[in-house]
Amino acid sequence: MTTDTPEASVAQPAQSIPVPEHFPRNEPVKFSGQAGEFFGIWFVNNILTWMTLGIYSAWAKVRTLQYFYGNTEVAGGSFNFTASPLKILRSRIIAFALLVLFIVADNSPADWALYVYVGFVVVYLALAPVLTVLVMSFQLRYSAWRGINFRFNQDYRGAYRVYLPPFTVLLLLAGSLMLPVYSEEVEQFFGQDTMASEQAEEQPEEQPAPQAEPTDDPLAPPASDSSAMPSGKSSEPTSAKLSATGGPQAPTTGTEERSKSKVLGGPQKQGTNGAPDKEVVLADGGKESLSLEEELEEVNPYLFIPALVLLLVFLGLLPYFDFISQRFLARNVRFGTAEVSYTGEAKDYYVIYWRWMLATALLVTLWVWFAASDFDIGGLLVPLIIATVLYMPLSRAYLKSRRYNLLFGKCSIDQGKFHLNANVPFLKLAYVLITNTLMVTITFGLMTAWAQVRTARTILESMSLDVNAPLNQFVAAQDKEQSAFAEEVADVFDIDVAF
CA 447/CA 450 separation, integer angstroms: 5
Contact between 89 and 496 (Cβ < 8 Å): no
CA 209/CA 301 separation, integer angstroms: 38
User: Nearest-5° angle of CA 316, CA 361, CA 428?
Assistant: 95
Question: Which H/E stretch holds residue 411?
Answer: strand 411-413
Contact between 281 and 275 (Cβ < 8 Å): yes
**What phi, psi does 100 have (nearest 5°)?**
-60, -40
Q: Length of the chain in residues, anyone?
A: 499
Number of alpha carbons in the 13 Å side-chain half-sphere of residue 207: 4
Question: Which H/E stretch holds residue 334?
Answer: strand 333-335
Question: Which H/E stretch holds residue 73?
Answer: strand 72-74
Tell me the three state secondary structure of residue 450: helix
CA 498/CA 433 separation, integer angstroms: 24
Number of alpha carbons in the 13 Å side-chain half-sphere of residue 472: 7
What letter would DSSP give residue 143? E
- Residue 101 to residues 105, 117, 120, 323: CA-CA distances in angstroms? 6, 11, 10, 34
Question: Which H/E stretch holds residue 63?
Answer: helix 57-70
**Helix boundaries (H) for 107-207:** 110-141, 156-177, 183-190, 192-202
One-letter identity of residue 12: Q
Who's near 54: CB < 8 A, 6+ residues apart?
A: 92, 96
Question: Which H/E stretch holds residue 365?
Answer: helix 346-372
One-letter identity of residue 216: D
Contact between 72 and 31 (Cβ < 8 Å): yes
Whether this prediction's pTM lies above 0.85 is answered by no
Sequential pLDDT tens for the chain (499 residues)? 444 444 444 444 444 444 556 778 899 999 999 999 999 999 999 999 999 998 999 999 999 999 999 999 999 899 999 988 988 888 888 888 878 877 777 676 766 766 777 777 788 778 889 888 988 998 898 999 998 889 999 899 999 999 999 988 888 888 788 777 666 666 665 555 555 555 555 555 555 555 555 555 545 555 544 444 444 444 444 444 444 444 444 444 444 444 444 444 444 444 444 444 445 545 455 555 656 566 666 666 777 888 889 889 999 999 999 999 999 999 999 998 899 999 999 999 999 999 999 999 999 998 888 877 776 666 777 888 888 988 998 999 999 999 999 999 999 998 889 999 999 999 999 999 999 999 999 999 999 999 999 999 999 999 999 998 888 888 887 766 655 444 443 344 455 544 4
